[in-house]
Structure 1
Amino acid sequence: MPHNGTVHSNAADVIYDSAGNKLLRGVPYYVLPLFSGSGGGLTLSRTTIDSCPLDVTQEPFDLSKGVPFTITPNVFDEDYVREAYPVTIEADVTDPCRGSNIMKVTTSDNGTKGFKSATIGGESNKPESCFQLVEADMMPGLRSYQIQLCPFKCGTNTSTSLNCYNVGLVANDVGKKFLATTEVIYPVVLTNSFVKPASQSSTSSL
């Protein structure tokens, strides 16, 4: 599961959105797959009707953007988000579970055969909520990024591992796609959500 060289990182580089603008802290962005025909953006949904916290999943239809997420640097108080810096990723929606909207990776009983899946309900600057973005050179002329979990970069980490882990999509037994740590590269682009209202009271998947 550690990253395998198909993506690269440079801490000096600023992350850019799909319009070529610098990625701003605290601004909601849709997280969309780079390649069309592979489904829509990231969203939140329940494994069962009353389950909490909500899982981070993919919209099944290409035209569905999902819900917006904010990306906030953990270490430096900067306006821009930089590559390979530890960040907190937070869903910009109302959580019906009334918990934290911060994304974390955990072992969830959602049918993904033991993969560590992403849910919300995390805490900022904790190992299980410690992510970074690194550039994935997959399509010329369009910046795409790989989300990685890097537990050692945040909080008090008792592990001696200095590995980062790719975060991509894993399907359960009925074909629903969950965000989880996986060896598969999942390049994404980030689209500013201000073309529509930045906050939504609910999601179509709940």
Structure 2
Amino acid sequence: MKTLMLLLLLSTISISMGQPSPDPVRDLDGNLVRAGTEYYILPVFRGRGGGVTYGRRRNESCPLDVVQADLEIDNGLPVTFTPVDPKKGVIRESTDQNIIFSAASICFQSNVWMLELYDGEFVVSGRGVAGNPGRETISNWFKIEKYEGDYKLVFCPTVCDFCKPVCGDIGVLIDESTGRRRLAISEVPFKIMFKKA
């Protein structure tokens, strides 16, 4: 009986302690990346384009998609991160985030990143909805994960218990006809770092 009571007590303690928090994401200066603060998402490897920004990728002028700037000296547009729990101030690895451009778009569209199927590819666009985690917003949540000492973006949201979203690394696909470097699910992750704006 004492053994059973001890096991119940230990299991209760371990459940109440919960899982440790994932590691915090850090910027180029080693500082914690914080929710609501503006950052540039930059490539680790220079000479292969600049930071992320809006760009035209479709035949029409709107909507705009998320692309990598052509010039490596171009930091792109600043973004903010909003975690699934908006009360959390520090951005943590492998947790769901909304990524939101801080600049206005020339199109009447949201600045919240989302993943959508277009022309046979899962591409990142700026037409999402912030917050409200669940089935209706499943395409609007991204994760930051450690990758070879730096970071990568991943689409594999866990904001819906019964949904089965497509999962994959976000990489840069080059459009052969335009040369535009668009963000999309790819077998090769886009190795990135964060610089405070």
TM above 0.5: yes
Instruction: Find the structure with the greater CA-based Rg.
Output: 2
Moved over 6 A (4+): none
Aligned AA (2:189): I
Normalised to the residue count of structure 1, the TM-score between the two structures is: 0.77
SS in 2 for 1:127: helix
Alignment correspondent of 2:180: 176
Distance in 1, matches of 2:41 and 2:99, equals 11
Alignment correspondent of 2:109: 99
Taking the TM superposition and a 5 Å limit, the aligned residue runs for 1:6-155 are: 11-47=21-57, 50-75=60-85, 77-109=87-119, 114-124=120-130, 125=133, 126-138=137-149, 144-151=150-157, 153-155=158-160
Deviates more, 1:116-125 or 1:43-52: 43-52
Change beyond 3 A, Cα 1:169–1:11: farther
Aligned AA (1:158): C
Aligned-residue identity in percent: 28
Aligned AA (1:186): F
Q: Contact 1:168 / 1:182 at 8 angstroms: preserved in 2? A: yes
Instruction: Give the number of aligned pairs.
Output: 172
Structure 1 residue 93, shift from structure 2 partner: 0.7
Structure 1 residue 186, shift from structure 2 partner: 1.4
Alignment correspondent of 1:6: none
- Segments of structure 2 that go 5 or more residues without pairing to the other structure are 1-19
Q: Give deviations 1:81-132, integer Å, cap 9, x for gaps.
A: 01111000001111222221100011234xxxx2211100101332111111
**RMSD over equivalenced CA pairs, Å:** 2.0
- Segments of structure 1 that go 5 or more residues without pairing to the other structure are 1-9, 139-143, 194-206
Matched, 1:158 2:158: no
Aligned AA (1:134): E
Going by fraction, where is helix more abundant, 1 or 2?
2
Normalised to the residue count of structure 2, the TM-score between the two structures is: 0.80
- Higher relative CO (Cα under 8 Å, sequence separation at least 6) belongs to 1
Q: Contact 2:57 / 2:180 at 8 angstroms: preserved in 1? A: no
